[in-house]
Amino acid sequence: MHAEELAKTIDHTLLRADATAHDVERLCREAARYHFAAVCVFPHYVPLADGLLKRADVKVCTVISFPFGADDLRAKVAAAQDAIGKGADELDVVFNLPAMLSGEFGYVRDELAAVVRAVRLKSVNTGRGHALVKAIIETCYLSNKMKRLACTILGQAGVDFAKTSTGLGPQGATLQDVELLRDCLDEHIGVKASGGIRTLTDVELMINAGATRIGTSAGVAIMQEALGQREERSSSALPS
The per-residue DSSP string of 65-118 comes to STTT--S-HHHHHHHHHHHHHTT-SEEEEEP-HHHHHTT-HHHHHHHHHHHHHH
Handedness of CA 32, 85, 159, 110 (dihedral sign): positive
3-state SS class at 162: strand
Name, in order, each residue with C-beta under 8 angstroms of 135's C-beta and a sequence gap of 6 or more. Answer: 93, 94, 95, 112, 154, 157, 159, 161, 162, 163
Say which residue, 199 or 129, is predicted with more confidence.
199
**Could you tell me the pLDDT band of residue 231, with boundaries at 50, 70 and 90?**
low
Catalytic residues, which ones?
92, 163, 192
The Cα–Cα gap between 190 and 212 comes to 6
Average pLDDT of 59-69? Answer: 98
What is the pLDDT at residue 127?
Answer: 86
User: Which of 12-26, 116-130, 179-193, 208-222 has the least mean pLDDT?
Assistant: 116-130
- The number of angstroms, rounded, from the C-alpha of 130 to the middle of its chain's C-alpha atoms is 16
Which DSSP helix (H) or strand (E) runs through 17? Answer: none
Q: From 12, 21, 68, select the one nearest 40 (Cα to Cα).
A: 12
Average pLDDT of 147-159? Answer: 98
Average pLDDT of 181-210? Answer: 98
Name, in order, each residue with C-beta under 8 angstroms of 143's C-beta and a sequence gap of 6 or more. Answer: none
Name, in order, each residue with C-beta under 8 angstroms of 79's C-beta and a sequence gap of 6 or more. Answer: 43, 64, 65, 71
Residue 237 pLDDT exceeds 50? no
Are the CB atoms for 135 and 111 separated by under 8 Å? no
Residue 228 pLDDT exceeds 70? yes
Residue 16 pLDDT exceeds 80? yes
Average pLDDT of 78-105? Answer: 98
Say which residue, 71 or 1, is predicted with more confidence.
71
Residue 102 pLDDT exceeds 80? yes
Is the pTM higher than 0.75? Answer: yes
Helices 200-209 and 175-184: angle between axes, nearest 10 degrees: 30
Average pLDDT of 166-184? Answer: 97
3-state SS class at 58: coil
Are the CB atoms for 96 and 113 separated by under 8 Å? no
What is the pLDDT at residue 230?
Answer: 59
* Mean pLDDT over each residue of the chain, to the nearest integer: 95
Average pLDDT of 224-228? Answer: 95
